[in-house]
Structure 1
Amino acid sequence: MEAANLNRANRWKKRHTHRFSVFPQSLLTLIPTLLVLSLIFFLSYKHFVSDFLQMSRISQPLQCSSQLEALGDKFIWYAPHSGFSNQLSEFKNAILMAAILNRTLVIPPVLDHHAVALGSCPKFRVLSPKDLRLSVWNHIIELIRGRRYISMADIVDLSELVSTSAIRVIDFRVFVSMWCGMEIDCAYSEDSEKELSMFENLRQCGSLLSGNNGNWNKCLYSVDEDCRTTVWTYQKNEDGVLDSFQPDEQLKNKKNLSFVRRRQDIYKSLGPGSGAASATVLAFGSLFTAPYKGSESYIDIHDAPRDPHTEYLLKKIEFLPFVPEIMSAGKEFALETVKAPFLCAQLRLLDGQFKNHWEATFLRLKQQLESLKQTGLHPVHIFVMTDLPIGNWTRSYLGNLVRDSNAFKLFVLREEDELVKRTAKKLVAAGYGLKFGFVPEGFDGIGKHCHPPLLPDILLYIEEAVCSCASLGFVGTAGSTIAESIELMRKNAVCLFKV
């Protein structure tokens, strides 16, 4: 037995020695590569463990934030996108959804123009709600980091809706500071590594809040239905029926689509008794809708005869005015700069579909000016709001108007104008975003110990306010949501006088 064991040991020892004697040089050449691979594995593992521990720390307040639970309230947040007019339209829908579902609305900031895009609902090509929420979250963090955050409530006057308890609101910064367990408005530090760590934690927190890790029982419910599959309704008794607009066969074959659009009652699907009802936070993606081929692209709620509160809100949100500071600035420009009856021309010439339709855009303006000239009014005062820089007016119809100074006098507003800067400072000082909403007792981190914010870009809003005061009329760009917004302002007579 001992001899057999010895023979086996000798055979192993001999084979082991033989392999090294045959491949010594090959192994020597592999050593540097093996060392590099080992180092990469070690660093990757270390990074993985670090991320895991950070996620673990962040996930604790999400199950669920004790501060939020103590409020005894439920919340709704969503992912705004595209330009300001689209964001305002979504905000109105968010107010409506929050009221129907009896939830407190998390008021978002105003996002940079087209910083986040949805895609095309009619073509069934859109970002998923989860991806959209995460894109919006990341952009908001950049706004905070760049000190450019401005709340939708800083621009739109919510005083009547809040004072009458028509809606309950909370500022995004307050909500997320409670949710993530850190004061996001003060996420700055002289220590660059500490600051980077703060924003990395916020990004991870946003990933969880966006629903990327799935729903959190009684904490987060992410609504993943979008305009490709769903049209939200209310009190229509058509829950689950097919919507009238469906992808046609050509589109199905071309894009390999399998979507079916159904109409769903928002209250039955997400209200009491639903799987979403117990969640502290209900997270939507886009809330934008528009009429399309006899239907709505996403939300078809225009009346609620059996719900007086919702019926009241539907009328109120049809038009939401700008805050007094913006309206006052528009009136001041009309009275003290233009100083005469004027026409407003909103000319969108460079963005998207509009850049290829200059002739059609200018045609209505030409017709309107010819009509005014017939009245004997000279010169005709015109306030121009356009995305075409003044330096590029020379070869356009605007250049012709500038040269004909006897017949026309043109006025513009610019970001560097003193009126615009002064109004921006007033808005920052007013801080409506934090006034019109819940702030917990003892919560004083927002804006009090941070670097001062940069002045917000409010030129567009003041321009719209100026146009609301134009007594000689308004000429807007066909298809522009900005033009629609101005028409709505004029319809509601927000300017108490017409210059």
Structure 2
Amino acid sequence: MADVTDISKLVTASDVRVIDFSVFISIWCGVNIDLVCSKESNKQSSLLDTLRQCGSLLSGYNGNVNNCLYALDEDCRTTVWTYGKDGEDGILDSFQPDEQLKKKKKISYVRKRQDVYQTLGPGSRAELATVLAFGSLFTAPYKGSELYIDIHESPRDQTMQLLIEKISFLSFVPEIMSAGKEFASKTIKSPFLCAQLRLLDGQFKNHWKTTFLGLQQKIESLRHDGPLPIHIFVMTDLPQGNWTGSYLEDLSRDSDAFKLHVLREKDELVTRTAKNLAASGNEKKFVFLSESLDRMKKNCRPPYLPDMLLYIEEAVCSCASLGFVGTAGSTIAESIELMRTHGVCSSRGPTEL
């Protein structure tokens, strides 16, 4: 994610080192990156076989590999990772599956809290390994507890405390923020409301009624109190051709009261930003990049372009001065709210509303 997330404030300190994943795979798996550009099917097939085997090894699926790789077999069902909390290592977590959940999910487990330093630090088997296969790394509240990482402060370890504070919010790189502000100032050109209505968002199917109700209430409030038309940036994966019979079609038809704006994958701003980002090499500013990988990125056709649409949409929504309506529980909505809280639209990049 170093190509889209600004991690400069993390790696300027000596406590964090990063490596681009493609570079890591090239070195770790012993893959000749030049073969990625090969048109010979036998070379491509051999490359894919090597990557599958290497990926299986890195995933920890086959367990530990001597002192090379240590694979954790704990997951979010059995473990909550903590750090530096007295008396918590090995105790039961506050959330345990009840009998109904056990029957419904056909699971049987006990959930414990483990100190990551005591379990994986000095003196542990993990210390001897070159690579730690941790699996998924995420944190999220769940029924009064926390999945899967519950590390929010470290008062006894100032180095760790400073790191936790730094990672509490990481903005997008300037190229993405500038694109979002450009769309807001040069395309929308007015104060606007942002509505996140992504059908493929994992939470939308659970909260779509509440989301649309909240949007309707917000729009009615703006319609009553403010000037018309109301500009609305719609962050959606539903093509406009499929809006027939929907609330979005009703809004788009009432052009005197509303003006809807959307971004699409093939829009010039999106493709230009992707090209700028690919050329900037943000992901390799802090790491060694092998010559063969650099050659691949220059010579492969078509050139690799990162998927930018979602990130630019989030940046646009961070600039929505009339407010934001998102889907409850959505990590995308949480990201946008965090950006808005930190005022990234007014504090970064060349364009200001």
**What TM-score do the two structures reach when normalised by structure 2?**
0.92
Partner of 2:50: 201
RMSD: 1.9
Extract structure 1 runs of 4+ deviating beyond 6 A.
none
> Separation in 2 of the partners of 1:256 and 1:478?
28
8 Å contact 1:221–1:276 — kept in the other structure? yes
- Post-superposition offset of 1:376: 3.9
> Separation in 2 of the partners of 1:324 and 1:254?
46
> Separation in 2 of the partners of 1:360 and 1:298?
27
Structure possessing the higher radius of gyration over alpha carbons: 1
The correspondence of residues 213-224 of structure 1 with structure 2, limited to 5 A, is: 213-224=62-73
Q: Which range is displaced more, 222-231 or 359-368? A: 359-368
Partner of 2:6: 157
User: Could you say if the C-alpha distance between residues 444 and 398 of structure 1 is closer, same or farther in structure 2, counting changes exceeding 3 Å?
Assistant: same
Which of 251, 254, 271 pairs up with 1:401?
251
Partner of 1:171: 20
- Give CA deviations for 1:28-74 in whole Å, capped at 9, x if unaligned: xxxxxxxxxxxxxxxxxxxxxxxxxxxxxxxxxxxxxxxxxxxxxxx
- Post-superposition offset of 1:185: 6.7
> Separation in 1 of the partners of 2:249 and 2:158?
53
Higher relative contact order (CA 8 A, sep 6+): 2
User: Could you say if the C-alpha distance between residues 480 and 256 of structure 1 is closer, same or farther in structure 2, counting changes exceeding 3 Å?
Assistant: closer
User: Could you say if the C-alpha distance between residues 256 and 462 of structure 1 is closer, same or farther in structure 2, counting changes exceeding 3 Å?
Assistant: closer
Which of 273, 282, 294 pairs up with 1:447?
294
> Separation in 1 of the partners of 2:144 and 2:53?
41
8 Å contact 1:173–1:184 — kept in the other structure? no
- Give CA deviations for 1:167-210 in whole Å, capped at 9, x if unaligned: 11111122222212223475332321122112212212222233
- Tell me whether 1:275 sits opposite 2:125 in the alignment: yes
Partner of 1:291: 141
> Separation in 1 of the partners of 2:34 and 2:163?
31
- Give CA deviations for 1:113-140 in whole Å, capped at 9, x if unaligned: xxxxxxxxxxxxxxxxxxxxxxxxxxxx
The correspondence of residues 91-110 of structure 1 with structure 2, limited to 5 A, is: none
SS at match of 1:395: coil
- Tell me whether 1:182 sits opposite 2:31 in the alignment: yes
8 Å contact 1:170–1:436 — kept in the other structure? yes
Note the residue ranges of structure 1 that are not aligned, 5 or more in a row. 1-151
8 Å contact 1:186–1:447 — kept in the other structure? no
Task: Give the length in aligned residue pairs.
Answer: 345
- Give CA deviations for 1:326-379 in whole Å, capped at 9, x if unaligned: 000011111111111111111233544524654322211121122112224111
Which of 303, 307, 316 pairs up with 2:157?
307
SS at match of 2:311: helix
Instruction: Give the partner amino acid of 1:219.
Output: C
Once the two structures are aligned, what percentage of the paired residues are identical?
Answer: 69
Partner of 2:273: 423
Instruction: Give the partner amino acid of 1:444.
Output: E
- Post-superposition offset of 1:382: 1.1
- Post-superposition offset of 1:250: 3.0
- Tell me whether 1:479 sits opposite 2:326 in the alignment: no
SS at match of 1:433: helix
- Tell me whether 1:346 sits opposite 2:346 in the alignment: no
SS at match of 1:313: helix
> Separation in 1 of the partners of 2:304 and 2:2?
17
Partner of 1:236: 85
SS at match of 2:42: helix
- Give CA deviations for 1:445-468 in whole Å, capped at 9, x if unaligned: 113145143322211111111111
Which of 372, 378, 395 pairs up with 2:222?
372
Q: Which range is displaced more, 247-256 or 477-486? A: 247-256
Instruction: Give the partner amino acid of 1:161.
Output: L
8 Å contact 1:350–1:388 — kept in the other structure? no
User: Could you say if the C-alpha distance between residues 211 and 192 of structure 1 is closer, same or farther in structure 2, counting changes exceeding 3 Å?
Assistant: same
